[in-house]
Structure 1
Amino acid sequence: MACVLVFRRPRWSLDLVLKALAVAVCYYVAGRLGLMGQLVIEGVIVTPVWPPTGLALAALLVFGVGVWPGIALGSLLVIASLTTPQLPTLITVAGNTAAPLCACLLLHRVGFRLDVSRLRDGIALVFLGGLGAMAISATAGVAPQVWTGGLSPGQFWSVWLAWWVGDAMGVLLVTPLLLVLSLGAGRFPRRRWKEAVCLGLAALVIVPVAVLSPTSMLFLVFPLLIWAALRFQLAGSMLCALVASVLTTYAANTRVGAFSGLSGIEIMVKLQAFNGAAALTALLLSSLVTEQRATRRSVQSACNELAVLLEHLAVGENPADPSAPSVRDVDEARKPTTRHFPRT
């Protein structure tokens, strides 16, 4: 049964306050981790992937909109760890809180499922949750710096684009993985553990070679993403995409491998292009595979029901009769029986 996002009016309680505080702590930790991969664009610190936005959206989808104060508190703590909070800081905090809130409400409007089991869920997460709503946080973060003179008007769009893409990548890479883990849908049959180990070993070998090689070989990552999406759906593909993004961001910060000899703008463009392509491939392909498998199971179930109905009609029975055999009874009757004869 698919899990559908349900919008509830928040009711303040001790449990909700504790959840909000937990979200604030996780937001701060994710922010500090995200700052480890920071880049300087036009004199402003930006991050190619900003994990707190993905964590904030996942928290709102799972716990409800009542945990929004935790997002605001976590955002304020992250900014306070970098500089002294001022009036523009409050605008940035408001934008960082409003963006995931708007994303949550938009996803609720289109009937988003938390397990991202349909292609439409993946598309909604990309365009509504990531690209659409994150324009709010980018605008609220860059505009105050232009108003206060920290940035010139000519620098607005370059910094805004870097900020917007970083927030969107946080949603596309972090939110699906957290949703899958929260629903416990990341489990796979035990018979596939050998294949999972092979996929992990292949990722540990291929991803560093593709990223750290002096020759640009980032395309080698995409066969791994396709393999993970086809066999392990969202959990496997998003985990591979996140690992590849982290290692690629490290290579971009140290200017090695595929990013050696590039300027700051070129590094940002190349890194964001790779992160975006990897996230879209993993998210949309895995949601498409999950939807097709669910459709196949539904069709198989309908075929079984139709076969039982036809058998009932062939022998003149009423399918609505409670005494009529069920699908399970017919399946058991179809199984071959083995007779044992005594030895003479």
Structure 2
Amino acid sequence: MNRHLFPFEQARKWTVDFAARSARTLALDRPVPYLARVVLLAAAYFAAAKLALLVAIPPGYATAVWPPSGIALAGVLLLGSRIWPGIWLGASLVNVAVQSSLVAATLMGAGNTLEALAGAALVRAFIGLPGAFRRGEDVVKFVAIAAASATIAPSVAAGPLAFVHSLSPPELLWNWWTWWLGDTVGIIVVAPLILAWAVRTHTAWTPRKIAEGSLLVCLLSGVMYAIFGPGIASYIPSLPLTFAILPFIIWAAFRFRQREVATVNALVCAMAVWFTLEGSGPFAQGSLNESLLLLLAFMCTVVTTGLVLNAVIADHGRAVEAAQRLLRELREQTIRDPLTSLYNRRFLQDYLERELIRAKRERAPLALIMMDLDRFKRINDSAGHQAGDQVLVQVGALLKRHVRGSDIACRYGGEEFAVVLPKTTLESARRRSAEICSAIRREPDRLLGATASLGVALCPAHATDA
């Protein structure tokens, strides 16, 4: 018996540990006592549910959007599976306020809790860390998970509802459908909103960004009112005009982060639900079932489009940044000596050509120090090539310490080095070479007795080309 339960216990332990590690990276990670978190989640669930029930679909058990389902899922993802008593408490209190049976209310509260726990487990298994979606396919997976997990609560509630209210099979099926619809849309709209805003961010909004965001919200609100409000429906059919909302969603997806996109999605869905239940707008036509179907399709299209597009754009931006970083690293590798990290001979040739042109144009001196290590072959023969490489590394570090910000030090080849000194007189270059030579002599142990011979050349006194 224990042998068969062991994999399940392992999976449960991994899920709880994974949630705990994930929550440390999020803004909700505070030293709040466990009981306080449970009470806060229950209060948030209860308050959101009471607000949602103000626009409940008759006979009052379900709504077109059930925000508490999204709050519950986000709470489990952010705070871990141990927070489930808060969901159960909040859901049970809401159901007690609606139902007359305490047993039925607690059973339905258990269904809401199982729904959040199952959804969180699926999100962790198929998407990963909670927070902003990193890829477009993560959004599609999330929508599928929301639709699948949202079947749990109405299925658990079907029995208590049928027993308490003596519902007929068609009425029970209708209640199951509206319940599932409300939970699905609530998860899709509310959970990404909470998860996106819970992630820590240090990006500050500039005045220009604030102005752009304000303009987006004002224009979108005006267009939503024009389409869903009661004024325009008597003149032209408003159903085709719903496509006018998509450009604003695309605007938000391209110009803002996922938290702002989720906020815009929530605004659009809230206005659409409100006007539809008030009997206004393109979806308030025909039967209630038809209106809910159209509303569901609209909200899922808007939310999925915005989140997928934003995730794809963010993923593309990260890919571009990674490619640019890789190109910079590759360029550094082509111009750097891999042993000493000094510039190599190829870079020296290109750099000297540019500096010679500038020196001629500005009529400024350009100095070059060439250095050759003495007795280096003997070090290689007696101590080995690995010891010789360490001497070259030490000489490279020494040169870096003795050059200005405008100078460059290069490994010319083998045990030969070069230092380019723009706008440097012959006397200054000779003084710099003497300092380098003295520094090498002061480190006989580290350099294994190697010394250096240095020569100085000046443009245009000694040469005018490379």
Same fold, judged at TM 0.5 (above): yes
Select between 225-234 and 107-116 the one with higher mean Cα deviation.
107-116
In the alignment, which residue of structure 2 is the partner of 1:117? 134
1:159/1:84 Cα in 2 relative to 1: closer, same or farther (>3 Å)? Answer: closer
Tell me if 1:48 matches 2:64: yes
Displacement after TM superposition at 1:298 (Å): 1.3
2 CA distance for matches of 1:237 and 1:8? 27
2 CA distance for matches of 1:236 and 1:150? 45
> SS in structure 1 opposite 2:19?
coil
Unaligned runs of 5+ in 1: 340-344
> SS in structure 2 opposite 1:24?
helix
Tell me if 1:28 matches 2:46: yes
1 CA distance for matches of 2:33 and 2:166? 41
In the alignment, which residue of structure 2 is the partner of 1:220? 244
In the alignment, which residue of structure 2 is the partner of 1:6? 18
Displacement after TM superposition at 1:95 (Å): 0.7
Tell me if 1:57 matches 2:73: yes
Contact 2:42 2:90 in 1 (8 A): yes
2 CA distance for matches of 1:259 and 1:109? 36
Structure with more helix by fraction: 1
Structure 2 length as normaliser, TM-score? Answer: 0.63
In the alignment, which residue of structure 1 is the partner of 2:344? 315
Contact 2:95 2:108 in 1 (8 A): no
- CA deviations over 1:249-304 (Å, ceiling 9, x no partner): 11112102324553222222222221121121122222222211111111111111
In the alignment, which residue of structure 2 is the partner of 1:195? 212
Indicate which of 133, 158, 165 corresponds to 1:142: 158
Select between 178-187 and 48-57 the one with higher mean Cα deviation.
178-187
2 CA distance for matches of 1:100 and 1:186? 30
> How do 1:285-300 and structure 2 match up within 5 A?
285-300=309-324
* One-letter code aligned to 1:99: E
Structure with more strand by fraction: 2
Indicate which of 25, 37, 49 corresponds to 1:19: 37
Structure 1 length as normaliser, TM-score? Answer: 0.84
In the alignment, which residue of structure 1 is the partner of 2:326? 302
Contact 1:233 1:289 in 2 (8 A): no
Aligned residues: 321
Contact 1:238 1:283 in 2 (8 A): yes
Displacement after TM superposition at 1:158 (Å): 3.1
In the alignment, which residue of structure 2 is the partner of 1:208? 225
2 CA distance for matches of 1:104 and 1:189? 32
Select between 109-118 and 73-82 the one with higher mean Cα deviation.
109-118
Larger Rg: 2
1 CA distance for matches of 2:65 and 2:202? 23
Structure possessing the higher relative contact order (Cα contacts under 8 Å, 6 or more residues apart):
1
2 CA distance for matches of 1:231 and 1:188? 14
- CA deviations over 1:8-30 (Å, ceiling 9, x no partner): 499xx971111111000000011
In the alignment, which residue of structure 2 is the partner of 1:342? none
- CA deviations over 1:125-169 (Å, ceiling 9, x no partner): 2112x1111111121122432355632123343332221121011
Select between 175-184 and 158-167 the one with higher mean Cα deviation.
158-167
Indicate which of 251, 258, 267 corresponds to 1:234: 258
1:57/1:185 Cα in 2 relative to 1: closer, same or farther (>3 Å)? Answer: farther
* One-letter code aligned to 2:169: P
1:209/1:106 Cα in 2 relative to 1: closer, same or farther (>3 Å)? Answer: same
> How do 1:58-137 and structure 2 match up within 5 A?
58-113=74-129, 114-128=131-145, 130-137=146-153
Contact 1:207 1:220 in 2 (8 A): no
RMSD (CA atoms): 3.1
Displacement after TM superposition at 1:111 (Å): 4.5
